[in-house]
Amino acid sequence: MRIRPESAGFIVLLGACTAMPPLSVDMGQPAVTPIAHALGSPPAAVAYALSLYMVGFATAPVIFGPLSDRFGRRPVLLAGCALFGITGWGCATAQSITSFMIWRLLEGAGAGVGTVLAVAIIRDLFEGKMARARLSYMAVLSSVAPMIAPTLGVSILALGGWRSIYAVLGTIGAALVVAVGLGLDESVAPEKAQSLAPRPLLANYWRVLGNRTYCGYALVSVLNFGCLFAYIAASPLLLINTLGASPRLYGYLFALTSFGFMLGGAVNGRLNMWGIPASRLLGTGLTLTTATSLLLLLLSITGAATLASVTPLLFATTIASSFVSPNATIGALQPVPQTAGMASSIIVCVQWLLGALAGALAGLLFDGRTPRGLAEVMSGFALASLLVFWGFVRPHERETVPLPEEAAAETAEGP
């Protein structure tokens, strides 16, 4: 019953694993007030539970990534899906806000495992354009989750109450355990297992973090994610409080920008399969992200920011981000295949910690009247990502990779 890695079903399964975070975040957002009433706590305490979820999501992969390099992707991914399922049911049965917070912290840890290992599995099995294309298609599928999760959460809340939302999440975790257990083969050969002893483990971290190619591409990825997450975190303030969208219209607009991820991922995957160089796609995505962020800042400064003028820019930003993330991530993992789990976990951890900082800055700089604070944060991260790519990554590649004619001459002359 194993699913072939070349099949569409394989990408669907990995996409489902990466959909755990948006489902478990967005489905529960409509239930903040009912949860607070039921557990006898202020709504702010439920919001703190989401912060704990993000802590678990960002930090747990740093543990599970090296474990997957030692014991294999499949058993660790099974453990992460099982943890996600158990904690979903734990949230559903919580009788106090303290226990709910603890379950949410652990739920974030389980969700983070799926995100990290799906990327590592693709790196294990595919190279170059095939890896970038599959990572793009996986992102297309995982982008469906934030589009449907809020509406799904509202529907479940109306039918069965807030506990039913987390019961559904627990059931999803159990279903993923079955799907991964039946459909996924191990992607790491036993002879490639990495030691967890302190000295070899530290040596592996040093090998990953000391690799200039990895660090350059990883920095491009995390800085671009900071630009994107600033918008995601501040989107209610921008679209509702500043630009006057109703909550219902906000949902439609957020779904539209989420559709940008799907569209960009599909196009990026197809262009990779057509043989378009990854550096060209990545440079295009970074340039477009920077341009849209700066245009948003210009609209804010001139007072011309409206729903009609801002929405197309945000839509273009999400499309551009879909060109950046898959190409930058595979570029980072390419030179460190033996420790892909560790390398992927570092990227995810730093992405979400930096994303949390970007979201906090966007909220801190929000003046209640214009999108200027958000635009400044987005522009700063976008420009930094673009400068790292053109000022560090590309020059380093030119130093280490011979030109095509040089490579051909070496092959003809022999060693």
Query: What value does the mean pLDDT take over residues 77-106?
Result: 94
Determine how many CB atoms are found less than 10 A away from the CB of residue 165.
29
Looking at the structure, do residues 156 and 225 belong to the same domain, yes or no?
no
The answer as to whether 329 is a domain residue is yes
**Whole-angstrom Cα distance, residue 389 to residue 398?**
12
Please write the tens of the pLDDT for every residue from 27-75: 887 788 889 889 988 877 777 787 788 888 888 878 888 888 888 899 9
Looking at the structure, do residues 70 and 151 belong to the same domain, yes or no?
yes
- More confident: 189 or 96: 96
The answer as to whether 412 is a domain residue is no
Looking at the structure, do residues 217 and 138 belong to the same domain, yes or no?
no
CATH number assigned to the domain comprising residue 222: 1.20.1250.20
Determine how many CB atoms are found less than 10 A away from the CB of residue 77.
28
- For residue 405, the model assigns a pLDDT of 36
Looking at the structure, do residues 177 and 242 belong to the same domain, yes or no?
no
- For residue 410, the model assigns a pLDDT of 33
- For residue 352, the model assigns a pLDDT of 82
Q: Which long-range contacts (CB under 8 A, 24 or more apart) does 302-310 make?
A: 303/370, 305/242, 305/243, 305/370, 305/371, 306/243, 307/239, 307/243, 307/244, 307/245, 307/253, 310/238, 310/239, 310/243, 310/371
Give me the residue label for tokens 């039921």: 38
The answer as to whether 128 is a domain residue is yes
The helix (H) or strand (E) run that includes residue 316 is: helix 307-333
- For residue 227, the model assigns a pLDDT of 92
Mean residue pLDDT of the chain comes to 86
The answer as to whether 192 is a domain residue is no
Looking at the structure, do residues 127 and 263 belong to the same domain, yes or no?
no
Looking at the structure, do residues 10 and 87 belong to the same domain, yes or no?
yes
The answer as to whether 255 is a domain residue is yes
The answer as to whether 51 is a domain residue is yes
**Whole-angstrom Cα distance, residue 93 to residue 87?**
10
The answer as to whether 411 is a domain residue is no
Please write the tens of the pLDDT for every residue from 131-181: 889 988 888 888 788 778 877 888 898 899 999 999 999 999 999 999 999
**Whole-angstrom Cα distance, residue 132 to residue 325?**
9
**Which of 144, 114, 134 shows the shortest CA–CA distance to 11?**
134
Under the banding of pLDDT at 50, 70 and 90, the label for residue 407 is very low
Looking at the structure, do residues 272 and 357 belong to the same domain, yes or no?
yes
The answer as to whether 342 is a domain residue is yes
Looking at the structure, do residues 161 and 220 belong to the same domain, yes or no?
no
Determine how many CB atoms are found less than 10 A away from the CB of residue 308.
8
Looking at the structure, do residues 215 and 155 belong to the same domain, yes or no?
no
Domain assignment of residue 268, given as a range: 211-399
Task: Assign 161 to helix, strand or coil.
Answer: coil
- For residue 99, the model assigns a pLDDT of 94
Under the banding of pLDDT at 50, 70 and 90, the label for residue 409 is very low
Residues contacting 242, CB < 8 A, separation 6+: 305, 368, 369, 370, 371
**Whole-angstrom Cα distance, residue 23 to residue 141?**
13
Looking at the structure, do residues 261 and 331 belong to the same domain, yes or no?
yes
**Which of 333, 371, 377 shows the shortest CA–CA distance to 355?**
377
Q: With b meaning 16 or more CB within 10 Å and e meaning fewer, what string describes 82-116?
A: bbbbbbbbbbbebeebeebbbbbbbbbbbbbbbbb
Looking at the structure, do residues 260 and 317 belong to the same domain, yes or no?
yes
Please write the tens of the pLDDT for every residue from 218-263: 999 999 999 988 887 777 778 877 888 886 787 778 778 778 888 9
Query: What value does the mean pLDDT take over residues 328-354?
Result: 88
Looking at the structure, do residues 241 and 327 belong to the same domain, yes or no?
yes
* Contact (CB, 8 A) for 268 and 157: no
Identify the domain boundary among 139, 167, 185.
Answer: 185
Domain count, the chain: 2
The DSSP code sequence of 288-301 is HHHHHHHHHHHHHH
- Residue 132, burial from CB neighbour count under 10 angstroms (0-12, 13-18, 19+): buried
Give me the residue label for tokens 């949390």: 356
